[in-house]
Amino acid sequence: MRFGWLTLAHSPGPAQDHAAIAQQLEQACLADALGFDGVWLTEHNFTGEAVYSDPIPFAAALAMRTTRVRIGFAVIQLALRHPIRLAVQLALLDNLCGGRLDVGVGRGSIYNEYEFVGYGLRSDDARERATEVLEILTRAWTEAPFEYEGQFFQLSLPELRPRPLQRPHPPLWRSVVTPPSFLEAGRQGVPILTPRIPLARLPERLGFYEQGLEEGGHDAATRARLRAQAAVWRHVYVGESDAEAEDTLGAAVLHTREHMIHARTAHNPPDFHVDSAFLNPFADPSVSHEEGTRWSLETGALYGTPKRVADRVAELREAGVEHLLCQLSFGYLPHGKIVASMRRFSEAVMPGFRGP
């Protein structure tokens, strides 16, 4: 199996941001030293939901401090970005990290309309805007000269410099949740990231991806590679005991949910409503914090002693998961506990799932 270290580290307030950013760098560099395969950075804006907000300059700092681990985004919010600026930044970053870049892409937040408003946008056309940005991004990396006439962007440039170090460009990962999105990603032959889907549903979802890979006509080696890369996200905390781990992670997830629900209630425009199809008990504001937290722990978390966590990882492997994204970093978990949990996971859990 492959193991990625993922962060979605909230910062409680502006006064804590500087220290939290420094701690994030320390944790991400430790992930490199401990043998994680990738470091995955999320993107959120304006409320401390991801303390560095923009993961690209943060990743540049990380590129200068690591030598082995791949650096990924889970995900870049395409609808908030200018495609050429994004293409230049990511190409430079791929050069800085020596070709260790993985670019997860998505349209933008489903729940945080205030992120769109902060950039002078609304999410109504986010899917179409993101589709255009993605097309420009890939073509700008591979065509010279490059011209584009679209709904949102009209561009003409002689050549994009620098080119990415990876050719034709860094891998572009898609975030998928629903069965049709798994199927379509398979047809397109793109690597996938998926959030905290309950264990019982994973074989079905991964089955849709495999079906799409076959329908897309991809050769056996490509299908095997992409199937092994398919990444599943889980909250992870390895504690001193099962009880300590449940209490510690439960408190962190509860504070995270309180932060997120408060930000959406306070800052989303009154005319914005989340499609009910995207709501689960953790994201649904009508569900109590206690119930939402319990649902998240039961369906999307691995916690306990190293033995208990290893047993849960084994269940995921039996369900067909070969690539696990471990959110070991939480904004409401003390830095020392995060580091201790990371060490326990790398020393007592990961070795049991590595190949020869």
Per-residue pLDDT of the chain (356 residues; tens, 9 = 90+): 999 999 998 898 999 999 999 999 999 999 999 999 999 999 999 999 999 999 999 999 999 999 999 999 999 999 999 999 999 999 999 999 999 999 999 999 999 999 999 999 999 999 999 999 999 999 999 999 999 999 999 999 999 999 999 999 999 999 999 999 999 999 999 999 998 899 999 999 999 999 999 999 999 999 999 999 999 999 999 999 999 999 999 999 999 999 999 999 999 999 999 988 889 999 999 999 999 999 999 999 999 999 999 999 999 999 999 999 999 999 889 999 999 999 999 999 999 999 76
> In this structure, which amino acid lies at residue 303?
Y
Q: What is the CATH number of the domain that holds 188?
A: 3.20.20.30
The tally of domains found in the chain comes to: 1
The per-residue b/e assignment along 291-308, b for 16 or more CB within 10 angstroms, e otherwise, is ebbbbbbebbbbbbbbeb
Quote the strand ranges of 206-283, DSSP E: 231-238
pLDDT attached to residue 356: 64
Q: Which of 64, 72, 67 is nearest to 102 (CA)?
A: 72
For the stretch 286-329, pLDDT in tens is 999 999 999 999 999 999 999 999 999 999 999 999 999 999 99
Q: How far apart are CA 89 and CA 91, in angstroms?
A: 6
- DSSP track, 2-45: EEEEEEE---SSGGGHHHHHHHHHHHHHHHHHHT-SEEEE----
Containing structural domain, residue 290: 2-353
Q: Evaluate if pTM is beyond 0.85.
A: yes
